Structure 1
Amino acid sequence: MLSTIRSLRLHSRFLSLYGGIKSLPMDSAEALLSVYYSYCNLSPCTVDLDDCQTSMHIWAANHRRCNKPNLVLVHGYGGNSKWQFILQIAQLTRDFNVYIPDLVFFGKSYSTRTERTDAFQAKCVCDGMRKLGVDKFSVYGISYGGYVAYRMAEMEEKMVEKVVIVSSGIVYTEEQKAEYLAKIGRNVVEMLVPEKPEDIRMLCRLSMHKSDVSKWFPDFFLRGFIAADGWRKERQELVENLLSEKPDPHLPVLTQETLIIWGEKDNIFPIQLAHQLHRHLGPKSKLEIIKDVGHAANVEAPNSLNEFITSFVLGDRC
């Protein structure tokens, strides 16, 4: 009996040690990214929403300056907020008071509520900004974050000043959705909420036109990236909700000036959807196409993306 107990304890310790070793590369990368974000004058904070039913983690400007406009960056799938804006924040924090929330069920943000819509995400981001005392800001959302940014602008017209939407297929027909999903040829939920390294590699190949960044990372690192995801079920439900949504024939036209940015070679949301969104929003919108770039413009063309965002948001201040 004693030998069995000792054996079980040894096995438990081995599993704990193995788990620690397995997560070490990911933990180290997260720590380095946190140091870099701190170097860029950002600090992590957490705000409680919905009578503490929801907790939102936000990287916020250390010293808000009155001579800089506020800019909220809303990430898409593919990790938390730190991973998606690595190549952009150094430049953007020079020109803006930057705020980067983890959307609910990404990174350190979570909720006990059952909503899984982009509208719920939008409400949480806007409420989080209020909690930080930020009552006016422009918003830049990429991919899934573009859906959230659109809803933020729709529900908080006075709060959201200007809108930048990057590679986000908000306006589409049911036929187009079926065609694009068939062209991908893979289960979208599996790619966006990966279970194995190959799922991540497939998503990267679809997102990139010039290069595949996933080849820079060995399988053990990608497994650690997957293991660090603590909200798999909830994130699957977010994707399923988005895929099940029907085209909205009454989608509001935003009152804010809106900049649409798209990669010419986007294989996830083809460029046709950029023109449809531009037509839907009308004369208060502007469309910029970045040549020879795929869906992940934040990785393939961060400098061009930053130039467009800065010029548009600053406007006459430039």
Structure 2
Amino acid sequence: MLSTIRSLRLRRRVVCLYGGVKRLPVIIAEAFLWLYFSYSCNLSPCTVDLDDCQTSMHIWAPNHRRCNKPNLVLVHGYGGNSKWQFVLQVAQLTRRFNVYIPDLVFFGKSQSTRSERTDTFQAKCVCDGMKKLGVDRFSAYGLSYGGYVVYRMAEMEEEMVEKVVIVSSGIVYTEDQKSELLKKLDGRNVVDVLVPDKPEDIRMLCRISMHKFDIGKLIPDFFLRGFIAADGYKKEKQQLVEYLLSKESSNLHLPALTQETLLIWGDKDGIFPIQLAHQLHSHLGSKSKLEILKNVGHAANIEAPFSLNKLVTLFLSPQVSSC
């Protein structure tokens, strides 16, 4: 009996050690990103408790908020946490804005014991998190899934959200267009691609997201396996995707936003085709503006970060937020 217990304990230790070794490359990469955000971008990580401590949201916030700078909230999509998605944009944007970058719930270090899996829940958490930090007015920039969240933020907090930037986000796509998207995945389940379980799933996501180059080919399997192993919220992320794919999430009857809105799209977007940009532009009406990035795919934040930053800065700079 004692020998069996010792054997089980040893096995657990070996499994834990193997898991730690597998995650090591990603842990090292995360550490470098933390140093970059902290010392090159003058941001500090903080955690705010919401919903009577049922939810905690991790947010990168300015070390020193400047009253002469507009406040800007960056909301990421799938494919990693906030550091991974905005690493090529953040240094330039922090020179012009008080930048806040939350990890959405079940991404990075944000978590919740609540059962909600909707974009509306995510939006409420971001807005409540900003209130906790004492930021009453800001503009919001959402990338892909983050675009859904930002739209809901602007809808529920009209006075709080000043201007809106949405990048490559199929907010008003129809059920037929959802079916077309699924066909592009060569029979793979979209949930498996967005919440990968093996390196091939991540490479598929990279392949359909990029137009100029396929970055997935350059990343070794051991790093991709570590990236997958480091994700502690796979089930919750799957549920978030399943909600977006359900008919319950249909956004065809969304109210048009009252805020000025900038839409930015890559003309070679392989996930949300350019047609969806025009649909959303038409839905939003005269208060919206559409900018098309030539020869850019879905991941404009990776393929064209400087062009993206220029458009965002020109759109937001005339407006000065209160601290």
Category of TM-score, reference length = shorter chain: over 0.9
Within 5 Å, which residues of 2 pair with 1:158-237?
A: 158-185=159-186, 186-237=188-239
Q: Secondary structure at the match of 1:184?
A: coil
Partner residue in 2 for 1:33: 33
Indicate conservation of the 8 Å contact 2:70/2:319, yes or no: no
- For 1:229, the aligned partner's letter is D
The answer to which of 11-20 and 119-128 deviates more is 11-20
1:130 aligns with 2:131: yes
Aligned residues: 317
The answer to which of 6-15 and 195-204 deviates more is 6-15
In the alignment, the residues of structure 2 paired with residue 296 and residue 279 of structure 1 have an alpha-carbon distance, to the nearest angstrom, of 23
In the alignment, the residues of structure 2 paired with residue 5 and residue 178 of structure 1 have an alpha-carbon distance, to the nearest angstrom, of 51
In the alignment, the residues of structure 1 paired with residue 251 and residue 12 of structure 2 have an alpha-carbon distance, to the nearest angstrom, of 52
In the alignment, the residues of structure 2 paired with residue 316 and residue 141 of structure 1 have an alpha-carbon distance, to the nearest angstrom, of 18
1:140 aligns with 2:132: no
Cα–Cα, structure 1 residues 71 and 2, in superposed 2: closer, same or farther, change >3 Å? same
Residue 201 of structure 1: CA displacement?
0.4
Residue 18 of structure 1: CA displacement?
1.8
- For 2:38, the aligned partner's letter is S
1:290 aligns with 2:265: no
Residue 5 of structure 1: CA displacement?
4.8
Partner residue in 1 for 2:155: 154
Match of 1:311 among 284, 307, 314: 314
Residue 305 of structure 1: CA displacement?
0.2
Runs of 4+ aligned structure 1 residues displaced above 6 Å come to none
Residue 192 of structure 1: CA displacement?
0.4
In the alignment, the residues of structure 2 paired with residue 304 and residue 216 of structure 1 have an alpha-carbon distance, to the nearest angstrom, of 24
Q: TM-score, normalised by structure 1?
A: 0.96
Partner residue in 2 for 1:116: 117
1:300 aligns with 2:303: yes
Residue 125 of structure 1: CA displacement?
0.1
Question: C-alpha offsets along residues 236-281 of structure 1, whole Å, 9 cap, x if unaligned?
Answer: 0000000003533421110000000000100100000000101111
In the alignment, the residues of structure 2 paired with residue 249 and residue 210 of structure 1 have an alpha-carbon distance, to the nearest angstrom, of 32
Partner residue in 2 for 1:275: 278
Q: Secondary structure at the match of 2:136?
A: coil
Question: C-alpha offsets along residues 114-138 of structure 1, whole Å, 9 cap, x if unaligned?
Answer: 1110000000000000000000000
Residue 9 of structure 1: CA displacement?
4.0
RMSD of aligned C-alpha atoms?
1.4
Partner residue in 2 for 1:67: 68
In the alignment, the residues of structure 1 paired with residue 10 and residue 55 of structure 2 have an alpha-carbon distance, to the nearest angstrom, of 38
Q: Secondary structure at the match of 1:48?
A: strand
Residue 22 of structure 1: CA displacement?
1.3
- For 2:162, the aligned partner's letter is E
In the alignment, the residues of structure 2 paired with residue 154 and residue 59 of structure 1 have an alpha-carbon distance, to the nearest angstrom, of 24
Structure 2 spans left out of the alignment, 5+ residues: none
1:252 aligns with 2:234: no
Residue 13 of structure 1: CA displacement?
3.0
Residue 213 of structure 1: CA displacement?
1.4
Residue 4 of structure 1: CA displacement?
4.7
- For 2:25, the aligned partner's letter is P
In the alignment, the residues of structure 2 paired with residue 221 and residue 118 of structure 1 have an alpha-carbon distance, to the nearest angstrom, of 30
The answer to which of 5-14 and 18-27 deviates more is 5-14
Residue 215 of structure 1: CA displacement?
2.2
Within 5 Å, which residues of 2 pair with 1:74-93?
A: 74-93=75-94
In the alignment, the residues of structure 2 paired with residue 15 and residue 283 of structure 1 have an alpha-carbon distance, to the nearest angstrom, of 58
In the alignment, the residues of structure 1 paired with residue 161 and residue 10 of structure 2 have an alpha-carbon distance, to the nearest angstrom, of 56
Partner residue in 1 for 2:98: 97
Q: Secondary structure at the match of 1:288?
A: strand
Q: Secondary structure at the match of 1:33?
A: helix
Cα–Cα, structure 1 residues 271 and 8, in superposed 2: closer, same or farther, change >3 Å? same
Partner residue in 1 for 2:11: 11
Structure 1 spans left out of the alignment, 5+ residues: none
In the alignment, the residues of structure 1 paired with residue 7 and residue 116 of structure 2 have an alpha-carbon distance, to the nearest angstrom, of 44
Indicate conservation of the 8 Å contact 2:198/2:228, yes or no: yes
Q: TM-score, normalised by structure 2?
A: 0.95
